[in-house]
């Protein structure tokens, strides 16, 4: 019962994203990107897991997407696996990582996308299990790569100064 109350309280009043006062736009973008990584990762992970348990869910009376909409289950897993590729390219744009991050994360993102495509096409237990097992190491590896490719604080500050300078020179002078 306590867990249900805590979930409702968190849903109604979510904890705020911590934002650096010196660089509010870059830290907010980075926080949103990390949340987007978690959001997109969960679909291949849980859809592949639920695929192999769909008979049990059906017998138990649970209306899971893998039982009620099996095509959508596979399609959503593929869509969000591909989204991880695009989200990785946003790392440098948000100031979270350097431009090497999209390159070094490309192999693991391509691999989970490949497994999601196999799961989408074959729709069998083996392909779902491989996608699920890949998802277990994919997220920690992706976050570790983002950490190793993290943009140094001096670079972040310099980038903020360049953007602020460009914005002030681009605005028309007041008469």
Residue 99: both structure tokens together = 């431009």
Place of tokens 């028309």: 172
Answer yes or no: are the C-beta atoms of 85 and 113 closer than 8 Å: yes
Single out the residue of 28, 32, 68 nearest to residue 50, CA to CA.
68
Cβ atoms of residues 105 and 145 within 8 Å: yes
- Tens digit of pLDDT at every position of the chain (175 positions): 555 565 555 555 555 555 555 555 557 888 899 999 999 999 999 999 999 999 998 899 988 998 999 999 999 999 999 999 999 999 999 888 999 999 999 999 999 999 999 999 999 999 999 999 999 999 999 999 999 999 887 665 665 565 556 556 665 554 4
| CB-based contact 33:91 (threshold 8 Å) | yes
What residues have CB less than 8 Å from 39, skipping those under 6 apart? Answer: 80
CA atoms within 13 A on the CB side of 19: 12
CB 51 within 8 A of CB 72: no
pLDDT at 140 (0 to 100) = 96
156-161 long-range contacts (CB < 8 A, ≥24 apart) are 156/23, 156/26, 156/95, 157/22, 157/23, 159/26, 159/95, 160/22, 160/23, 160/26
One DSSP character per residue, 36-53 reads HHHHHHHHHHHHHHHHHT
pTM of structure? 0.74
Which pLDDT score, from 0 to 100, does residue 118 have? 98
The pLDDT value given to residue 3: 58
């Amino acid at each position: 019962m306590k867990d249900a109350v805590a979930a409702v309280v968190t849903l109604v009043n979510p904890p705020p994203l911590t934002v650096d006062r010196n660089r509010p736009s870059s830290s907010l973008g980075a926080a949103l990107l990390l949340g987007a990584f978690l959001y997109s990762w969960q679909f291949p992970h849980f859809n592949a897991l639920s695929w192999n348990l769909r008979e049990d869910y059906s017998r138990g009376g649970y209306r899971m997407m893998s039982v009620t909409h099996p095509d959508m289950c596979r399609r959503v897993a593929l869509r969000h696996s591909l989204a991880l590729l695009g989200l990785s390219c946003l790392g440098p744009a948000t100031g979270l990582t350097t431009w090497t991050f999209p390159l070094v994360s490309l192999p693991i993102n391509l691999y989970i996308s490949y497994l999601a495509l196999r799961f989408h096409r074959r729709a069998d237990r083996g392909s779902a299990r491989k996608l699920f097992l890949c998802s277990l190491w994919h997220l920690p590896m992706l976050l570790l790569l983002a950490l190793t490719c993290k943009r140094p604080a001096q670079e972040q500050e310099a980038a903020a100064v360049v953007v602020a300078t460009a914005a002030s020179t681009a605005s028309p002078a007041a008469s």
